[in-house]
Amino acid sequence: MIEMSEVSKIYPNGVSAINGITVKINKGEFVYVVGPSGAGKSTFIKMMYREEKPTTGSITVNGIQLSKLRNTKVPLFRRNLGVVFQDFKLLPTLTVFENVAFAMEVVEEHPKDIKKRVMEVLDLVGLKHKARMVPTELSGGEQQRVSIARSIVNSPQVVIADEPTGNLDPETSWEIMNILEEINNRGTTIVMATHNRDIVNNLKRRVIAIDNGRIVRDEQRGEYGYEY
Q: Footprint of another protein on this chain (CB under 8 A)?
A: 49, 71-72, 75-79, 81, 83, 89, 91, 102-103, 105-108, 111, 150, 154
Q: Give, in degrees to the nearest 5, the angle at Cα 60 between 54 and 61.
A: 110
The three-state secondary structure class of 87 is coil
Angle formed by the axes of helices 111-124 and 140-152, to 10°? 130
Minimum separation from the CB atom of position 69 to another protein (A): 13
Between 81 and 125, name the residue whose CB sits nearer to another protein: 81
| Other beta carbons less than 10 A from residue 21's beta carbon | 23
Q: Name the minimum Å distance from CB 89 to another protein.
A: 6
- Least distance from C-beta 115 to another protein, angstroms? 14
- Closest approach of Cβ 98 to another protein, in Å? 12
Closer residue to another protein in complex, CB, 83/138? 83
What does the alpha-carbon distance between residue 71 and residue 89 come to, in Å, rounded to a whole number?
23
- Angle between the 140-152 and 96-105 helix axes, to the nearest 10 degrees? 20
User: How far is Cα 23 from Cα 6, in angstroms, rounded to an integer?
Assistant: 9
What whole-number distance in Å separates Cα of residue 28 and Cα of residue 114? 26
Nearest to another protein of 106, 216 (CB atom): 106
Nearer residue to another protein within complex by CB, 77 or 226: 77
Q: How far is the CB of 55 from another protein (least distance, A)?
A: 19
Least distance (Å) between residue 35 CB and another protein: 23
Residues contacting residue 152 through CB under 8 Å, at least 6 positions apart: 82, 121, 124, 159, 183, 188
CA distance 149 to 96: 10
Nearest distance in Å: CB 106, another protein? 4
Measured from the CB atom, the residue of 27 and 79 that comes closer to another protein is 79
Across 35-188, the runs of DSSP E, i.e. the strands, are 56-61, 64-65, 81-85, 158-162
Q: Which is nearer to another protein, 81 or 209 (CB)?
A: 81
Nearer Cβ to another protein (79/132): 79
